[in-house]
Amino acid sequence: MRRERLGFSFALAVLSLWCTMEVAVEAAWSLQTPVKLVWHYYKVHNTCDYAEAYIRHQVESFYKYDKTIAPKLLRLLYADCFVNGCDASVLLDGPNSEKTAPQNRGLAGFAFIDKIKTVLEARCPGVVSCADILNLATRDAVHLAGAPSYPVYTGRRDGMTSTKDSVDLPSPSISWEASLAYFRSRGLDVLDMTTLLGAHSMGRTHCSFIVDRLYNFNDTGKPDPSIKASLLEEMRKLCPPKTRKGQPDPLIFLNPASGSKYSFTNSYYSRVLTNEAVLGVDQQLLYNEDTKQITEEFAAGFEDFRRSFALSMSRMGNINVLTGKEGEIRKNCRFPNKK
């Protein structure tokens, strides 16, 4: 996977994305099921000409006061698209909804989406889907953090059900083989996986998601041997072993190099190469020839990472979308419409 190949494939993808109005979104190396989404859907159909501008303005306003919205929305979009597809089902409330699943502990950003939806309902009632809002707002937020402003095709509709039993998001301690199998089950490939894991360049996670690496890796009673000694010492200070029920579960930075700046950088890949990844699944990128080579390229070239991120985010946003007469356009992102 040479850098030239990354640039060439991205150029082809962007040419396809930007030169047509209505497209079947395709991958550079592997094909997804073609789905018809539209560039500037709401303007093309004269239903809400300035929908994307309204969303961008709201995100810019939020970002001035809270830079955490970038990693929060990234995680929220991942939790949505990888479960039932990009249908905003993760936004639905309920005692057994997706947001109540253990894997979604700490999921945030719902209030930001609610505020944007309120603005759009005041200007274009019943028109803009929560699924499109989530995709567009995430793009705009991560762009402010340093990511590229990639094209987001629109015309998604919202799902009407949400259950915690449908949430099959994997553990952050899985092997690269299991991680790749999971990504492939969603129509994504090894480049998408290595690229999208780079979203861990910013944000935080709970100690409970890494405590096994620190104290009892694979039930050995010892720490993960791949973790750098200095990082192990640092993480153990922040994350004590769990010894009692109800013990606090602190938040730690996924990428200490970025920390509270919440900036989108390629330092995540440099840390993987020096065995300083916080999550086990991230450190696993060293143990496959393809993922290691991609990691090395992204660590050496930020623009390579940014270009690949643009394409992979567009591909993730295409997973199992609802269009046409499928689903609905929710009036409130937290509840299905009343019949």
Binding residues: 80, 83, 85, 87, 89, 98, 170, 200
Of 165, 238, 159, the residue nearest 205 (C-alpha):
238
The yes-or-no answer on residue 75 being catalytic is: yes
Please give the backbone phi and psi of residue 77, each rounded to the nearest 5 degrees, phi first.
Answer: -65, -45
Nearest CA to 190 among 176, 203, 204, 201? 176
Buried b (16+ CB within 10 A) or exposed e, 253-262: bbbeebeeeb
Instruction: Identify the helix (H) or strand (E) that includes residue 22.
Output: strand 22-24
Q: What is the DSSP letter of 24?
A: E
- In sequence order, the β-bridge partners of residue 308 are none
Binding residue numbers for heme b: 200
Residue 227: left if φ>0, alpha if ψ -120 to 50, beta else—which one?
Answer: beta
Find tokens 């209505």 and name the residue: 22
Residue numbers in the known binding site for substrate are: 170
- Residue among 170, 147, 168, 179 nearest 283 (CA): 179
* 3-class secondary structure, 35: coil
Q: Which of 56, 75, 307, 315 does the annotation list as catalytic?
A: 75
- DSSP state letters, 61-109: HHHHH-TTHHHHHHHHHHHHHTTT-SSSGGG--STTSGGGSGGGTT---
Alpha carbon 3 to its chain centroid, in Å, reads: 24
- Binding-site residue positions for Ca(2+): 80, 83, 85, 87, 89, 98
Active site residues: 75
